[in-house]
């Protein structure tokens, strides 16, 4: 007790003597590209480019990168955080929904918020947390026990704490919130428990819920006809990865997960809207503007919970505002941002379930590609052609970078019976005997998805990507290597062995006038800078 009190006082004193970050206004978030020395949102900007405008680290000097500091997280759970950095202070989430503020010069903690989880919380895949949001003078985090918490950015003191859903039924939260002008948008996890998915927005100052969009429509609502009987009540379509935002149109873009139950769709006949969709929502009301479904009637657990990337591009000879989407089903999509119309698509990872996409973007299913009681070999595997880890778009190189997976699996069909608070799965997937998981970093032309180069990994891809104005692409591997690739060619420029698996997204920012690049590896945060 005395040690804990001493530590709290020491951290408060340290926070008092170090420079504090200025408030982060909505205007700063809108213009995040204009201050590349900071990293203000989960994906770097509202368009989710995960691109740094800093160019001090280049292909010519990246080999001189050295660790600046390492911060050890006091948790044995997997760390998937993508930190924010504001004016020399890093804000990172930890498993369960704890939050720490660090000095980026030294890695020393300034304050820490510890989230204590109830024993009743349930989740499929562990209490990982992927990041925080910032608006004004508050830090926002969603927690594993399905709360949204607002913290004072200077001290970590709780400003408000709002329950989003009942964790005893299987609701949980792992995604970083998305801060808008006056609202905090959050997604939820728990599709494996037969919950009904939603996307919420909360008043940034009070924590009061502003709107909710149900990703599985109620009876009589548009889309309900795509569900048989009462199956929509346990339809899942969770929203467990952070979306993107177009402030000009006040539109939120968010991906949705698989329908429930997994792997057995016999009872839920139909396309099962709005599962496996990208939904475009009005930021003020949460009303649906448009949707695009990537995998109708999904029986492979190929969530569309990947990060949508917003760009302006020339597609089919016409300049358009588009969404780029590398989907877990192994296809790459280009959609019109204003209407959701399918413009282009192409396979980017190994797959055996579809002959291709029709003119509307709907997959043309192949026979013998659904799970069976005996087991059916299908590509991609449960991990998908890609997954939650972020892609990157470089306006400098004009390339879309994606961490791809070329692995297959044996899909099994089983029975599913819904019981509140229990997993609601109708089968599973096992690896193909004798086949090793395959991971590849691929660079695609943004308007067509045409492959420009690839860099092969030693095992399945599991970390996100960061591209920079220095024409460098950063990513990590399961073997613990932090890699730097040449953006135009994919050539390996540098690597550092962290000693632990990397399952996170890199970020870049300025600290003390020097560019740093940071990544979570194992249970630590590594920050790198040039040896000058």
Active site residues: 301
Distance (Å, whole) CA 364 – CA 73: 46
Which residues are paired to 309 by β-bridges? 324
Q: Which residues contact 318 (CB under 8 A, 6 or more apart)?
A: none
Whether 309 and 46 have beta carbons less than 8 Å apart is answered as no
Whether 209 and 162 have beta carbons less than 8 Å apart is answered as yes
Whether 516 and 51 have beta carbons less than 8 Å apart is answered as no
Query: Do you know the residue count of the chain?
Result: 532
Q: Supply the DSSP string of 277-340, one letter for each residue.
A: EEEEEETTT--EEEEEESSTT-SS-----S--EEEEEEETTEEEEEEEEE-TTSEEEEEETTT-
How is residue 96 written in tokens? 């369960």
Distance (Å, whole) CA 66 – CA 83: 19
How is residue 146 written in tokens? 């399905």
Give the three-class secondary structure for 90. Answer: strand
How is residue 71 written in tokens? 């911060």
Distance (Å, whole) CA 384 – CA 26: 35
Which residues are paired to 141 by β-bridges? 149
Give the three-class secondary structure for 128. Answer: coil
Quickly tell me which residue has 């290597």 as its tokens. 481
3-state helix, strand, coil in the chain (%, to 5): 10, 40, 50
Distance (Å, whole) CA 28 – CA 50: 17
């Amino acid at each position: 007790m005395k040690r804990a009190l001493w530590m709290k006082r020491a951290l408060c004193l340290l926070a008092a003597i170090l420079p504090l970050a200025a408030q982060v206004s909505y205007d700063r978030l809108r213009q995040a590209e204009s201050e590349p020395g900071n990293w203000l949102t989960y994906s770097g900007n509202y368009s989710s480019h995960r691109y740094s405008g800093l160019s001090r680290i280049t292909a010519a000097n990246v080999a001189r990168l050295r660790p600046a500091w390492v911060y050890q997280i006091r948790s044995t759970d997997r760390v998937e955080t993508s930190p924010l950095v504001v004016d020399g202070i890093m804000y990172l989430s930890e498993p369960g929904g704890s939050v720490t503020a660090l000095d980026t010069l030294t890695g020393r903690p300034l304050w820490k918020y510890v989230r204590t989880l109830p024993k009743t919380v349930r989740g499929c895949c562990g209490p990982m947390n992927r990041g925080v949001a910032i608006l004004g003078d508050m830090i926002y985090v969603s927690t594993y026990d399905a709360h949204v918490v607002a913290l004072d950015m200077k001290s970590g003191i709780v400003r408000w704490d709002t329950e989003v859903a009942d964790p005893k039924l299987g609701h949980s939260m792992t995604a970083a919130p998305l801060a808008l002008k006056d609202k905090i948008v959050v997604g939820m996890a728990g599709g494996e428990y037969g919950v009904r998915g939603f996307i919420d927005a909360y008043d940034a100052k009070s924590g009061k819920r502003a709107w909710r969009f149900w990703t599985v429509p109620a009876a009589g609502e548009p889309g309900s006809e795509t569900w048989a009987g009462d199956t929509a009540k346990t339809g899942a379509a969770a929203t467990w990865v952070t979306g993107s935002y177009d402030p000009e149109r006040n539109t939120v873009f968010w991906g949705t997960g698989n329908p429930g139950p997994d792997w057995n769709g016999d009872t839920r006949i139909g396309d099962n809207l709005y599962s496996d969709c990208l939904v475009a929502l009005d930021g003020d009301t949460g009303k649906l503007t448009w949707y695009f479904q990537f995998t109708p009637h999904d029986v492979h657990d190929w969530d569309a919970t990947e990060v949508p990337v917003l760009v302006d591009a020339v597609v089919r000879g016409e300049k358009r505002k588009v969404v780029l989407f590398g989907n877990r089903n192994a296809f790459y999509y280009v959609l019109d941002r204003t209407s959701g119309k399918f413009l282009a698509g192409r396979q980017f990872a190994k797959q055996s379930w579809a002959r291709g996409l029709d003119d509307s973007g709907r997959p043309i299913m192949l026979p013998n590609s659904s799970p069976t009681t005996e087991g059916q070999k299908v590509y991609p595997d449960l991990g998908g052609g890609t997954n939650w880890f972020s892609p990157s778009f470089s306006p400098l190189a004009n390339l879309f970078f994606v961490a791809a997976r070329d692995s297959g699996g044996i899909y099994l069909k089983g029975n599913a019976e819904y019981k509140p608070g229990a997993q609601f799965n109708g089968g599973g997937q096992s690896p193909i005997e004798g086949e090793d998981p395959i991971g590849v970093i691929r660079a695609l032309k943004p308007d067509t998805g045409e492959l420009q180069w690839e860099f092969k990994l030693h095992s399945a891809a599991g970390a996100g990507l960061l591209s920079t104005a220095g024409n460098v692409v950063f990513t990590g591997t399961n073997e613990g290597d932090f890699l730097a690739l040449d953006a135009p060619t994919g050539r390996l420029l540098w690597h550092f062995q962290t000693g632990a698996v990397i399952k996170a997204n890199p970020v870049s920012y300025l600290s003390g006038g020097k560019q740093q690049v940071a990544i979570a590896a194992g249970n630590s945060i590594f920050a790198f800078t040039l040896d000058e």
